[in-house]
Amino acid sequence: MALTIFDLDNTLLAGDSDYLWGQYLVDKKIVDAHEYERQNQRFYREYREGSLDILEFLFFSLKPLADYSQEQLHAWRQDFLDTIIRPIITRDAVSLVEKHRRCGDTLLVITATNRFVTEPIVECFGIENLLATEPERDHSGYTGRVTGVPCFQKGKVIRLNEWLEKTGHHLQDATFYSDSHNDLPLLNAIEHPIAVDPDHKLRAHAIASGWPVISLRGRGYLEKL
């Protein structure tokens, strides 16, 4: 079975769940609205530019997980999933996943966004394998820190290689779908890289390299799955 890998934000989703989770916290007044929104926008801009300090961002973005109970966090996350995320799941994204599932491919999502935010989103697609940035936990809940290698840029390659060694899968005939130039380290390591609604840097690289460029935003959005 071939391995098919999907980025999540702005690839399977028509938006960025990491950024949108931050805005959700702002809108619900869970965090200091003015300062948190300013920082959230700065980090998102740096991500798009390719200058993001991932550890600085994770120190910022994971802190709210340590400030509230697991029960409260999961209630907010469910509301976030229902009101913010489901409306940005497109029919074309679902169809693409189902096409690869019918082919018998092993499906994997690999994302820089943390597992707390992304795990239920990936479940919406029926994809069992997820590599994400891992928030640290102790006996009482989340600590606000990251554990292991962040699943970002070259970190995605490291985390994927660890997963391959653990699971026995391989990259022969593998496909990777992504929108971001931040994923070039992994795109360049895959036999079949595909740019999805790519940013300007990735689009230019994909065209120069002869990679397919596709869009998953042409057939509207799903109201629910």
Structure tokens at 50: 């390719």
Give the closest residue to 201 by CA, choosing from 62, 15, 51, 72. 51
Residue 141 CB contacts under 8 Å (≥ 6 apart), including other chains: 65, 66, 69, 70
How far is C-alpha 23 from the chain's CA centre? 16
Question: Going by C-beta distance under 8 Å and a sequence separation of 6 or more, which residues neighbour residue 36?
Answer: 22, 25, 26
Of 9, 92, 105, 197, catalytic: 9
Whether residue 7 lies in the annotated active site? yes
Per the listing, tokens 């919406």 go with 124
**179 assigned to active site:** no
User: What one-letter code names the amino acid at 72?
Assistant: Q
Q: What distance in Å separates the CA atoms of residue 192 and residue 4, rounded to the nearest whole number?
A: 9
Angle at CA 145, nearest 5°, toward 4 and 148?
45
User: What amino acid positions are annotated as catalytic residues?
Assistant: 7, 9
